[in-house]
Amino acid sequence: MTIDLSDVKIIEENIDPDKYGATKYMQDDQNTTFLFKDLNGGKAAGNVYSTREKIGKAMGISKNDIVKHVMDAMASPMPTEIVDSPAFRFSELPLDLTRLPIIKYFPKDAGRYISAGIVVSEYNGKRNVSFHRMLIKDKDTIVIRLVPRHTFTLFNEAKKNGEELKVSICIGAPVEAMVSAALSVDFGTDELTIASSMYNKGHGTPLKAGKCDNGLTVPADCEYVLEGRITFDTEKEGPFVDIAGTYDEIRDQPVIKIDKIWAKKDPVFQLLLPGGWEHFLLMGVPREPVIFKTVRQAVPKVKNVRLTEGGCCWLNGVVSISKNKEGDGVNAIMAAFTGHPSMKNVIIVDDDIDIFDDREVEWAVATRMQADRIIRIPGAAGSSLDPSANGTTWKVGYDATIPVGVDRAPYIKASLQDEE
C-alpha cells in the first residue's frame, strides 16, 4: 500500500472499531487520507486511493494516463518476481481476527467488515484475484460475499471434488494488484501478471510476490495476509452498504476458516469506505479500459473514458472522441453500453473537452446538443446496484459532439491564444 505522505491527516485519538468514528472522518473529507494510530490497538488508513491523482501517483503516472496504462498491461502481462522473504511474512500474528483494526462502518451493518481485501485463490492451475467484502464472525471465521464470477467458479470446482478452496486474503496490497483484482478478464487469466506488467511500466521492475504456507502466491508488499479455506458451510452475510451508498440485502454465503495471519513490519490495515469515492474508483477505474476498447472498435479516435464519481463510477460515464463522420457519436453511445452493461447514462463529447472536469462536460451538453440527439433505450438489463432499477432499466445516451461539416467557431470557447 502506498500512502501519499503529503496528504495525510494523522488521528491520534483512540478509535472504537464499533462506534463509526473512522467512518465519520473518512466520509467528512474524502479527499484526505487518514492514518488512525490507535484503532483497536493497531494502525489503519482510509481514503488511501480516494482520488484519481492518488491512484496515478501510486502507479507512477498521471491521472489522465490511467486508462491507457491499464490497457497496455492487459495487452502485455508479465510474470511476477518471486522473492524469498516477502514483506508480509515479517511476523505471524496470533490467530484472532477480532484483535485486528477492522471496523463496523455503518449502524445497520451486520458487523465488522474487511472491505479493501483482495482474495487470491487457485485451483487446477487457474489463479484468480478478486475483491470481496468479508464479514468477521469470530476469531478465525469470515463470511465472504461470493458473487457468481471467477472465485465462485473455482470454489464450485473444488467443492465437486470434495475439497475446500484455499485462499489468501491480502490487505494493503499495491494499487496495481487492487486495480487488477477488479478487472473483467477471461476466466483463467492471472490478474497478478497484469498487475506485474502495470507495476513494471510505472516503476521499472516486475511486481514482487511471495509464497504463503498454503502454497498460494500473493503480492509481497501487503500489509496483512490471511491464509484460509472457503469451506462448505454457509452463514448469513449482510446487511452491508454497497457502492450506491444503500444497504444490500442479507444472503446465505460461504464461510472462510482462517489458518494463519501474517503482517509486515509496523503494518497499517487498509480501510475502504463503502459507498465512498475510493470504493467508486477501485470498482470503476478497471472498467474504463474495457469501455475504451469497445468504443474504439466503433469510433477509431477515442481520447479517454471516465466513469463519473457522481454516478458512483458505475452508472454514469463520459467518453471523449474525435469524429470522422456524423453518426460516430451515436455509435460511441451504443459501444459504451456494450463495454459496461451496468452503465445507464453516457455522454459523448469532443476531444477538446476535459472529461475529468464536470463543468466542462455539462457545458458541452448545454452548448453542443439538443434533446433530439438523446438516445433512449428501454427495457435493458442494468445494474443490480441501481436502487431505481426494477428488473430492467432505461439507458440514456447524450451525443454532445459538434455536428460534422458545420462552422465550428460558434461552439468554441474564447481563449487568450486566439489570433487577433
Residues with catalytic annotation? Answer: 242
Nearest-angstrom CA–CA distance, 350 and 354? 9
* H runs (alpha helix) in 136-287: 150-160, 175-181, 191-203, 277-284
Q: Which of 42, 13, 68 has the alpha carbon at shortest distance from 172? A: 42
Q: What angle (nearest 5°) sits at the alpha carbon of residue 61, between those of residues 60 and 63?
A: 130
CA distance 88 to 391: 44
With left for phi above 0 and alpha for psi between -120 and 50, is residue 172 left, alpha or beta?
A: left
- Distance of CA 6 to CAs 31, 64, 236, Å? 12, 21, 41
Q: At what angle do helices 328-339 and 288-298 cross, to 10 degrees?
A: 140
Q: How far apart, in whole angstroms, are the C-alpha atoms of residue 87 and residue 352?
A: 45
How does 69-102 read in b/e, with b if 16+ C-beta sit within 10 Å?
bbbebbeebbebeeeeebbbbeeebeeebeebbb
For residue 210, give the 3-state DSSP assignment. Answer: strand
Write out the three cell numbers for 267: 503494518
Dihedrals phi, psi of 43, to nearest 5 degrees: -105, 145
The secondary structure of residue 37, as a DSSP letter, is E
All cell numbers assigned to 386: 441501481
Phi/psi region, residue 366 (left: phi>0; alpha: psi -120 to 50; beta: rest), is alpha
Residues 262 and 227: beta-carbon distance below 8 Å: yes
